[in-house]
Structures are given as structure tokens and as C-alpha cells.
Amino acid sequence: MEAAEEPWSAADYAQSEKDANGILASCGIDPRPSGRIWLLRTPDRSPVGAFLDSLLESATRAGVEPMASPSLVEFARQELASAFRDQS
């Protein structure tokens, strides 16, 4: 019998946010504002997961380690700027 998943408690959610914001801070990114629903749109309207997989594959090919780091943030910033610029 599979264990039933329980909803996150407020403490679980707070810890998850703290962990995520710590990763963002290590990359030089401000913390996520709390209480927001994030709606993401990719430049080519592809599913977000597929777009992110492609972005990480591109980073690897460019010699950028696909782990949270300032170098990956800069690579992603450049790639996204180019992709959205090419779209217009």
C-alpha cells in the first residue's frame, strides 16, 4: 500500500521558501516575493519543463555547469534575452 501524501504544513512551506531563497541568494538573485502565483511563458510557447531542459542542455554544451550558480544565471539571462528579442 502506498503512503498517502499529506498537504504541506505552514512550517514545511516556510522551510521550502527559505531553502529556495538561499539558493537564489547564492546566485545573486533577490528572494521570491511571497504570496505570488508565478505564471511563466517561454519565448516559443513550449512547455516550461521542455524549455528549461533545452536551456540546461545548451548550458552544458557551452561549458556552463547546469547547477544553480552565478554563471548559469548569466548564461540563462543572455539566452532568454536573445530568445525574446528574436521573437519580436
> Which carries the bigger pLDDT value, residue 28 or residue 2?
28
Query: Which pTM was predicted?
Result: 0.75
Domain boundaries, the chain: 41-88
The mean pLDDT value for 37-48 works out to 88
C-alpha cell at 76: 540563462
pLDDT value at 3 more than 80: no
pLDDT at position 6 is 84
Q: Give DSSP secondary structure letters for 20-48.
A: HHHHHHHTT-PPPPTT-------TT---H
Please state, in angstroms and rounded to a whole number, the distance separating the CA atoms of residues 70 and 72.
6
Mean pLDDT of the chain: 90
Instruction: Report, as an integer, the average pLDDT of 35-46.
Output: 86
Higher pLDDT, 33 or 3: 33
Tell me the torsion sign for CA atoms 83, 84, 87, 88. negative
pLDDT at 36: 81
